[in-house]
Every structure is written in C-alpha cells, then in structure tokens.
Amino acid sequence: MYQVQELTKIYDMGKVKVKALEGVSFTVPDGDMLAIMGRSGSGKSTLLRQMGLLDQPTSGRILLDGREVSRLPERERAKLRLRHLGYVFQEYALLGELTAHQNVYLPGMMLGEADNYRERARELLELVGLGERINHYPKELSGGEQQRVAIARALINRPRVLLADEPCANLDTISSAMVMETLVRLNRELGVTVIFVSHDPDDRKYAQSVLVLSDGRIAQRSGQVK
C-alpha cells in the first residue's frame, strides 16, 4: 500500500520558485493499476519521481506499507529502489554499453539475492516479447523495443510496484499498445501494482483507477484510489 500525504514539491531555482505539487494526498491499494493524468506541466513526473524515491519532497510524506520512506538517507532509498520499486523512464533509459540482456539483469546482479538472474532476465525479455533480441545493444532496438527492455529491467527484482512515466511518449500507436498491454499483463498475471503517467485520455482504458492532476493539485479521482 502506497500512501501519499500532503505532498508538496517546490523547485527552488534561486530567484524563481516553482510549485510543482501542492498538498497532494491519496492512497494506492496493492494490485491497483493507476493512471496519473493531466496537462503538460501539471506535476505528473514530479509526483512519480517522489513516489519512486528519486527525489525528496519539500514537505509531506510518502508511506510504503506504513513506513515513512521519503526522508530516508539516500543509501536506504537506493536499497528500496533496488528491491521494491521498478521505474520506467519517459525517455529510453537503457545503458548503451550493455546488451538488452545485461541491461535487464544488472539490477538483479546488484541485489544478488539469487544467482539465476541471468535466466530470469531471459524469461522477462521473453515476457515482453523480445526473447530473440537479448544480445542486441539498445542502439539496435526500436524505441518501443527499448521501452519494453526497460520494463523487463524494472521487473528483474520482482518489485511490488512498477512506476512508469509516460512509457509511450516517444512511441507510435502500435508500439504504445504493446507496451501498455505488457503493463496490464504484469498487473493481472503477476499482481504487480502499476502506476503509470500518461497525458493521452485514451489510456484510461488500461487503468483501474485514475488520478487527474491540474497545477500540482488533484483535480479528479476515480476507481480504487482514495
């Protein structure tokens, strides 16, 4: 269970201060598939980064299973990211010098809990439909394929939550549909909580819950999210 309480994020740019989030509160139950929507600049990415523990909020709290996680030191947050959270970035964020296979198993190697991370990475690549391309480098893959590798990478350590920031922003409709359907399958078949950002109203159809942001505040909510 993810709880966001009175979250405020102000970007301090010296003279200018940008208020990206203001008093945002909501709760995501386990196994939910949540879409965060809103116009450009409404604060979607900012919210996801706070939830993904990639940044620290100006005020407010984030609780993961009741434990306050947003104020932990970076070392602790890195451990949580590695073990419990999978993050898929808006831009393709693969490591260019590693093959698809290596990109996927790297976090598994880092966590080092099981030695079968290579095998598991192969399975995950098959799951996202890239079983044939495991030894390809990112530059040899299309945008959609790269994004699916990124999803496989986010899943290597069996995270409880997958956070995806506009995973289809740079993709055509067919690739987008494949990526979104991959996320849906993960949610349904593996029970992973999926939180994704989108500004395409059409993507509501993949979600069980929807949160709409407007100027850093929640403008509308529906589904299981409270």
- Binding residue for ligand ATP, selected from 44, 81, 101, 153, defined by CB under 6 A: 44
Q: Which stretch binds ligand ATP (CB under 6 A): 33-41, 63-71, 126-134, 182-190?
A: 33-41
H or E stretch at 191: none
| Residue 40 site contact among ligand ATP, another protein, Mg ion, none (CB < 5 to 8 Å, cut-off depends on kind) | ligand ATP
- Binding residue for ligand ATP, selected from 32, 34, 45, 51, defined by CB under 6 A: 45
- Of 116, 177, 121, 115, which Cα lies nearest the Cα of 152? 121
- Binding residue for ligand ATP, selected from 2, 22, 24, 43, defined by CB under 6 A: 43
| Residue 20 site contact among another protein, ligand ATP, Mg ion, none (CB < 5 to 8 Å, cut-off depends on kind) | ligand ATP
**Binding positions for Mg ion, 37-66, rule CB under 5 A:** 45
Under the rule (CB under 8 A), what is the footprint of another protein? 49, 52, 54-55, 75, 78-79, 81-83, 87, 89, 93, 95-98, 102, 106-107, 109-112, 137, 153-154, 157
| Contact yes or no for 67/80 (Cβ under 8 A) | no
Q: Which stretch binds ligand ATP (CB under 6 A): 13-21, 60-68, 78-86, 170-178?
A: 13-21
Q: Name the minimum Å distance from CB 22 to ligand ATP.
A: 11
Identify the three-state secondary structure at position 132. Answer: helix
How many angstroms separate the CA atoms of 90 and 50, rounded?
Answer: 15
| Residue 144 site contact among ligand ATP, Mg ion, another protein, none (CB < 5 to 8 Å, cut-off depends on kind) | none
Q: Per residue in 169-193, is it b (16+ CB within 10 Å) or e — as a string? A: bebeeebbebbbebbbebbeeeebb
How many angstroms separate the CA atoms of 207 and 215, rounded?
Answer: 22
* CA angle, 91 then 82 then 79, to 5°: 130
Q: Name the minimum Å distance from CB 209 to ligand ATP.
A: 18
- Binding residue for ligand ATP, selected from 40, 75, 132, 174, defined by CB under 6 A: 40
Identify the three-state secondary structure at position 102. Answer: helix
Angle between helices 100-111 and 117-127 (to 10 degrees): 130
Q: Interface with Mg ion by CB under 5 A: which residues?
A: 45
